[in-house]
Amino acid sequence: MTGPDDAGRFRVEGTSGRARAATLRLARGTIHTPCFMPVGTLGTVKSLTPGELRDAGVEILLGNAYHLYLRPGTRVLEALGGLHRFMGWDGPILTDSGGFQVFSLARINRIDDEGVTFRSHLDGSLHRLTPELSMEIQAAIGSDIRMAFDECPPGDASPGAARTAVERTLAWLARCRARHEALQDAQRDAHGDAHGDAHGDAHAGGGLLFPIVQGASCDDLRLESVERTLAMGEWPGIAVGGLSVGEEKEVTHRVLDTIEPALPSDRPRYLMGVGYPDDVIEAVRRGVDMFDCVAPTRNGRNGTAFTAEGRLNIKGARFASDPAPLDETCDCPCCAGYSRAYLRHLFVSGELLGLRLLSLHNVRFLIRLTSRARAAILRDEYDRWADDWLATYRRGSPRPATEQEGEDGPC
Amino acid sequence: MTGPDDAGRFRVEGTSGRARAATLRLARGTIHTPCFMPVGTLGTVKSLTPGELRDAGVEILLGNAYHLYLRPGTRVLEALGGLHRFMGWDGPILTDSGGFQVFSLARINRIDDEGVTFRSHLDGSLHRLTPELSMEIQAAIGSDIRMAFDECPPGDASPGAARTAVERTLAWLARCRARHEALQDAQRDAHGDAHGDAHGDAHAGGGLLFPIVQGASCDDLRLESVERTLAMGEWPGIAVGGLSVGEEKEVTHRVLDTIEPALPSDRPRYLMGVGYPDDVIEAVRRGVDMFDCVAPTRNGRNGTAFTAEGRLNIKGARFASDPAPLDETCDCPCCAGYSRAYLRHLFVSGELLGLRLLSLHNVRFLIRLTSRARAAILRDEYDRWADDWLATYRRGSPRPATEQEGEDGPC
What are the tens digits of pLDDT across the range B90-110?
999 999 999 999 988 888 889
Q: What's the mean per-residue pLDDT of chain A?
A: 92
Q: What's the gap in Å between the CA of A88 and the closest CA on chain B? A: 6
Catalytic residue selected from B96, B150, B327, B408:
B96
Q: For residue B5, name the pLDDT band (cuts at 50, 70, 90).
A: low
Using CA atoms, how far apart are residues A273 and A404, in angstroms rounded to an integer?
8
Please name the member of B43, B345, B350 whose beta carbon is closest to the beta carbon of A411.
Answer: B350
Give Cβ neighbours of residue A410 (< 8 Å, ≥ 6 apart).
none
Q: Judge whether B292 counts as a catalytic residue.
A: yes
Q: Within a 10 A sphere around the Cβ of A403, how many other Cβ atoms?
A: 12
Q: What is the ipTM of this complex?
A: 0.94
Q: Which residues of A are catalytic?
A: 96, 292
Mean pLDDT over residues B59-79, rounded? 97
**What confidence tier does A407 reach under pLDDT thresholds 50, 70, 90?**
very low
Sort A69 into a burial class: Cβ within 10 Å, 0-12 / 13-18 / 19+: buried
Read off the pLDDT band of A253 (50, 70, 90). Answer: very high
Instruction: Provide the pLDDT confidence category of residue B205 given band limits of 50, 70 and 90.
Output: low
Q: To probe the interface with B, which of A351, A357, A360 has the most B CB atoms within 10 Å?
A: A351
CA B62 from chain center: how many Å?
Answer: 6
Q: Measure the CA–CA gap between A397 and B9, rounded to whole angstroms.
A: 54
The SS3 of residue B128 is strand
Secondary structure tally for chain B: helices H, strands E: 15, 17
Contact at CB, A351 and B46, closer than 8 angstroms: yes
Averaged pLDDT of chain B: 92
- CB A300, CB A359: distance < 8 Å: yes
In DSSP notation, A376-400 reads HHHTT-HHHHHHHHHHHHHHH-SS-
Q: Which of B144, B278, B279, B292 is catalytic?
A: B292
pLDDT at A205: 59
Q: Using one digit for the tens of pLDDT, what is the confidence trace for B362-405? A: 999 999 999 999 999 999 999 999 999 999 999 988 755 444 44
The SS3 assignment for B352 reads helix
Q: Is B156 a catalytic residue?
A: no
Residue B410 has pLDDT above 50, yes or no: no
For A309-366, the pLDDT digits (tens) are 999 999 999 999 999 999 999 999 999 999 999 999 999 999 999 999 999 999 999 9
Q: pLDDT of A101-134, one tens digit each? A: 998 888 888 999 999 999 999 999 999 999 999 9
Q: Which residues contact B406 (CB under 8 A, 6 or more apart)?
A: B100, B101, B104, B105, B273, B294
Q: B2 pLDDT exceeds 80?
A: no
Question: Residue A71: its chain B contacts at CB < 8 A?
Answer: 345, 348-349
Total CB pairs under 8 A between chain A and B? 110
Question: ω before A50 within 30° of 0 (cis)?
Answer: no
- Beta pairing class for A10-16 and A19-26: antiparallel
Residue B78 near residue B128, CB atoms below 8 Å: no
Q: Cα(B157)–Cα(B179) distance, rounded to whole angstroms?
A: 29
B203, pLDDT greater than 90: no
**Does the pLDDT value for residue B196 go beyond 90?**
no
Nearest-by-Cβ selection for B320 from A76, A346, A355: A76
Instruction: Report whether A334 contacts A300 (CB < 8 A).
Output: no
What are A188-203's pLDDT values in tens digits?
Answer: 888 765 444 434 443 4
- Give the pLDDT score at B264: 98
Give the CA radius of gyration of chain A: 21
The residue-averaged pLDDT of B328-333 equals 97
The model's pLDDT over B338-372, given as tens digits with 9 standing for 90+, comes to 999 999 999 999 999 999 999 999 999 999 999 99
